[in-house]
Amino acid sequence: MTTQSAPGKVILFGEHAVVYGRPAIAVPVMEVRASVSVEDAPPGSGCSINAPDVGRTFRLADVPSEDPLAAIVYETLTHLGVSEPDVTITIRSTIPIASGMGSGAAVSTAIARALAAHLGRPLDDDTVSALVFEVERLHHGTPSGLDNTVIARAQPLFFVKDRLVESFAVKSPLHLLIGDTGIPCLTKVVVADIRAAREARHEQYDSLFRQIGQITVMARGAIVAGELNALGALMDGNHWLLYQMGVSSPEIERLILAARQAGALGAKLSGAGRGGHVVALASKETQEVVAEAMLQAGAKNVISTVVS
Ligand code: PMV
């Protein structure tokens, strides 16, 4: 049996603007993971997929090739140039679904890695990321590529679509609290809405994207210098621009307000918005009270992670 896994992710800066060529910063969330095992099945039985967390068990041949779980299997087999093997693929994940934490990309990453390794042809991170990107394209329309890249590399990244992927040093640990609004984050819908809004109000949206890009560059500097107060203020600034873009919601605002009032250095929505999750920057001393405040304000769950 071959087992591989991949972490969740959270976007710290630059969502939406990244689709239009501005930089973004995302970090892996190691506390939540997708894990995939591949084992040999009897000869002639083909490939079966088992995803007990979402109540699905099926044979590869019985679902459309665009099914997200099937699509990454086909992408991987095509890349390796091999035909359908006799294997059982079992998927487990602790990453919340449809909350903007990269659950789909992490599951795809773990499947590609585990399947290729089981077939004796392990893949490097960039190849896995490219295969996962193809599947993201099927389901998200015009993804920037940020999710698949940060999940495959499992390190904090400064990312510019089609141009730049850089890791950087984190001087002081970042104590992050990720609060789930419990409202599904429909990335494809929100990204399409922003595209339509930009077509109608080009100047306004390009100005928002440009300001987000500037904040993201400053945020990288603050992380490298360990200036956490400045970093928190930049998160607040990025959130205000996302709010003006129309991707916040009353539930998101409640969690952000609660986190700030409980002493967070900054807080913002993360991912496509409207639902999904909020990320707050706390300190070691304040992290528990900030998490508790977010729960009191209606968060369905709060994940605590430290980026260092
Ligand atoms: O909702 P998520 O976490 O998958 O993130 C979407 C991020 C966007 O910038 C809105 C879209 C993208 O492809 O980068």
Task: Give CA–CA dist 87/15, Å, rounded.
Answer: 38
**What H or E segment, with its residue span, contains residue 159?**
strand 157-160
User: For residue 53, how far is its CA from the centre of ligand 1 (angstroms)?
Assistant: 24
Centre of ligand 1 from the C-alpha of residue 187, in Å:
6
Task: Read off φ and ψ for residue 301, nearest 5 degrees.
Answer: -165, 145
C-alpha to C-alpha distances, 267 to 158, 229, 278, nearest whole angstrom: 19, 12, 7
The DSSP letter of residue 35 is E
Distance from the alpha carbon of residue 16 to the mean position of ligand 1, in angstroms: 6
pTM of the shown model: 0.96
Annotation marks residue 147 as catalytic: yes
Where does residue 81 fall: left (phi above 0), alpha (psi -120 to 50 degrees), or beta otherwise? left
Contact between 34 and 110 under an 8 Å Cβ cutoff? The reply is: yes
- Best residue among 108, 146, 186 to mutate for probing ligand 1's pocket (most ligand atoms within 8 Å of CB) is 146
Ligand 1 mutation pick, 149, 191, 194, 245, max ligand atoms within 8 A of CB: 191
Q: Ligand 1 test: best mutation among 144, 159, 165, 239, most atoms within 8 Å of CB? A: 144
Distance (angstroms) between ligand 1 centre and the Cα of 29 equals: 16
Q: Which pLDDT does position 154 carry in this prediction?
A: 97
Q: Is 266's C-beta closer than 6 angstroms to any atom of ligand 1?
A: no
Residue tagged 């496509």 (tokens) = 272
pLDDT at position 297 is: 98
Please, what is the end-to-end C-alpha distance for the chain in angstroms? 32
In angstroms, the CA 275 to CA 181 distance is: 6
**In terms of Cα–Cα distance, which of 148, 101, 156, 107 is closest to 125?**
148
Side-chain-side CA neighbours of residue 148 (13 Å): 25
What is the structure's pLDDT at 254? Answer: 98
Output the tens digit of pLDDT for each of the chain's 308 residues: 999 999 999 999 999 999 999 999 999 999 999 999 999 999 999 999 999 998 999 999 999 999 999 999 999 999 999 999 999 999 999 999 888 899 999 999 999 999 999 999 999 999 999 999 999 998 777 899 999 999 999 999 999 999 999 999 999 999 999 999 999 988 989 999 999 999 999 999 999 999 999 999 999 999 999 999 999 999 999 999 999 999 999 999 999 999 999 999 999 999 999 999 999 999 999 999 999 999 999 999 999 999 99
Which ligand 1 atom sits closest to the C-alpha of 11?
A: 3
**pLDDT value of position 46:** 96
Q: Which atom of ligand 1 is nearest to the CA of 16?
A: 9
The catalytically annotated residue of 126, 147, 162, 193 is 147
What pLDDT, on the 0 to 100 scale, is given for residue 304? 97
C-beta of 272 in contact with ligand 1 (< 6 A): yes
| Ligand 1 pocket check for 19: Cβ under 6 Å | yes
For residue 15 and ligand 1, the question of a CB distance below 6 A is answered with yes
